[in-house]
């Protein structure tokens, strides 16, 4: 029986990828190259510093083209722009179906957690006014290892209560690294988005619009009996 539902934030609750993209593209432009939306796909679920490494690689800058100090400065600049964009977000940007799905989960007595790599989780939850819908929140400031390491999800489970087994938890994720993290933690996983990218998930749904908690629970109990 599933007792806890753990949600990734970026790409699951809200589409922040477009704001990350605007900020990374601005940095690339300053460095003199174009960063495309297809390149941006590679940054989903990836930490800020790892994202910068990918961006520099796309720009043709080798691993040692910049000092660590300069890279920290570039990441800080990107984040400043990103925070400027997300500080204007409104609750209208919560992805379709998310609110009613969360309400159903809570009404079913299932505990809820948010587990995100983002260090900006607090700002986004406040802008969207949904902090209260989660029993616990674990963000990028609270973990030392990034997805695909399961640390963020295991921490969610332990904060939800020491009595939870990983097999009683389901993780909702839009990034392959996040699905891998859930699996590494021994939890069920539901992919949100493209089944070709999320093929390691127990199953994939396009989003929460028109999806009920009971349907998810049923599909997971079938999985458990396979």
Tokens of 120: 């900006």
How many angstroms separate the CA atoms of 170 and 56, rounded? Answer: 35
Residue numbers annotated as active site: 8, 10
The binder of Mg ion chosen from 2, 10, 110, 114 (CB under 5 A): 10
6-25 residues near ligand BG6, rule: CB under 6 A: 10, 20
48 is an interface residue for ligand BG6 by CB under 6 A: yes
Q: Which is nearer to ligand BG6, 2 or 154 (CB)?
A: 154
State the Cα–Cα distance between residues 8 and 176, nearest whole angstrom. Answer: 12
User: Which residues, in sequence order, are CB contacts of 22 under 8 Å at separation 6+?
Assistant: 81, 82, 85
With contacts defined by CB under 6 A, name the span among 30-38, 39-47, 159-167, 200-208 that binds ligand BG6.
Answer: 39-47
Binding region for ligand BG6 (CB under 6 A) out of 26-34, 40-48, 95-103, 105-113: 40-48
- Comparing CB distances to Mg ion, the nearer of 33 and 149 is 149
The half-sphere exposure of 68 on its side-chain side, counting CA atoms within 13 A, is 0
Q: Which residue among 120, 130, 138, 204 contacts ligand BG6 (CB under 6 A)? A: 120
**Structure token digits, residue 140:** 């990028």
CA neighbor of 52 nearest in space, from 33, 85, 27: 27
Q: Rule CB under 5 A: is residue 174 a binding residue for Mg ion?
A: yes
Nearest Cα to Cα of residue 12 among 44, 56, 50: 44
Binding mask 166-205 for ligand BG6 (x = CB under 6 A): ----------------------------------------
Q: Which residues pair with 111 in a beta bridge?
A: 4
Window of 51-59, 94-102, 120-128, 173-181 that interacts with Mg ion by CB under 5 A:
173-181
Nearer to ligand BG6, 173 or 217 (CB): 173
Burial class (CB within 10 angstroms; exposed 0-12, middle 13-18, buried 19+) of 45: buried
128 within 8 A of 91, measured Cβ to Cβ: yes
Residues found near ligand BG6 in the complex (CB under 6 A)? 10, 20, 43-48, 51, 79, 116-120, 140
């Amino acid at each position: 029986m599933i007792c806890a539902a753990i949600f990734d934030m970026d790409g699951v609750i809200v589409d922040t990828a477009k704001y990350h993209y605007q900020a990374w593209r601005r940095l690339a432009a300053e460095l003199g190259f174009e960063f495309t939306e297809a390149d941006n796909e590679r940054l989903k679920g990836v930490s800020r510093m790892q994202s910068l490494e990918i961006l520099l690689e796309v720009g043709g800058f080798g691993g040692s083209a910049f000092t660590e100090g300069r890279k920290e400065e570039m990441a800080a600049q990107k984040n400043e722009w990103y925070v400027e964009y997300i500080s204007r977000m409104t609750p209208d940007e919560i992805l379709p179906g998310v609110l009613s799905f969360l309400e159903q989960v809570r009404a079913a007595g299932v505990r809820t957690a948010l587990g995100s790599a983002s260090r900006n989780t607090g700002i986004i939850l406040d802008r969207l006014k949904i902090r209260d819908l989660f029993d616990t929140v674990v963000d990028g400031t609270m973990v030392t290892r990034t997805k695909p390491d399961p640390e963020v999800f295991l921490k969610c489970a332990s904060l939800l209560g020491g009595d939870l087994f990983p097999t009683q938890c389901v993780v909702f994720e839009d990034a392959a690294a996040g699905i891998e993290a859930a699996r590494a933690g021994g939890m069920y996983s539901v992919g949100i988005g493209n089944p070709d990218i999320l093929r390691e998930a127990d199953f994939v749904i396009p989003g929460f619009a028109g999806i009920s908690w009971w349907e998810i629970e049923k599909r997971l109990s079938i999985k458990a009996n396979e």
